């Protein structure tokens, strides 16, 4: 799955190749994620981003929902971050 984040005139892409979950504010984690979980957040802004020491990426959205992208258990790409200018970070 690929998430896109608009930065005005530029865009950052986040390609997910491992498991991920959405946790609504005060709610339970949704695993597996349903299409409606992702679509519900179209137009949301990222309020905070954290990369945990194990490689898990945590994005807190402006409505308090948390998107957690887990570092995979096998040595393979878990997610890719596509930055402006063609730069790419592979985790």
DSSP conformation letters of the chain:
-EEEEE-SS-EEEEEE-S-EEEE-TTS--BSSPPHHHHHTTTT--EEEEEE-TTS-EEEEETTS-EEEEPPPSSSS--EEEE-GGG-EEE-
What global pTM score does this model have?
0.81
Give the C-alpha separation, 44 to 75, whole Å: 31
What would the pLDDT profile of 25-56 be if each residue is shown by its tens digit? 887 766 666 666 778 888 888 999 999 988 89
The domain total for the chain is: 1
Angstrom distance (rounded) from CA 79 to CA 2? 9
pLDDT tens, residue by residue, 60-75? 999 999 999 988 777 7
Where in the sequence is the domain holding 54, given as residue range(s)? 2-90
Q: What are phi and psi of 81, to 5 degrees?
A: -110, 120
The model's pLDDT over 1-19, given as tens digits with 9 standing for 90+, comes to 889 988 888 889 999 988 8
**Which pLDDT does position 35 carry in this prediction?**
61
Q: Whole-number mean pLDDT of the chain? A: 85
d(CA 74, CA 64): 30
């Amino acid at each position: 799955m690929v998430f896109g984040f608009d930065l005005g005139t530029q865009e950052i892409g986040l390609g997910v190749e491992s498991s991920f979950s959405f946790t609504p504010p005060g709610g339970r984690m949704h695993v597996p994620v349903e299409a409606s979980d992702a679509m519900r957040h179209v137009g949301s802004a990222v309020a905070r981003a954290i990369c945990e020491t194990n490689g898990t990426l945590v994005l807190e959205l402006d409505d308090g929902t948390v998107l957690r992208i887990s570092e995979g258990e096998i040595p393979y790409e878990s997610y890719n971050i596509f930055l402006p200018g063609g730069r790419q970070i592979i985790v």
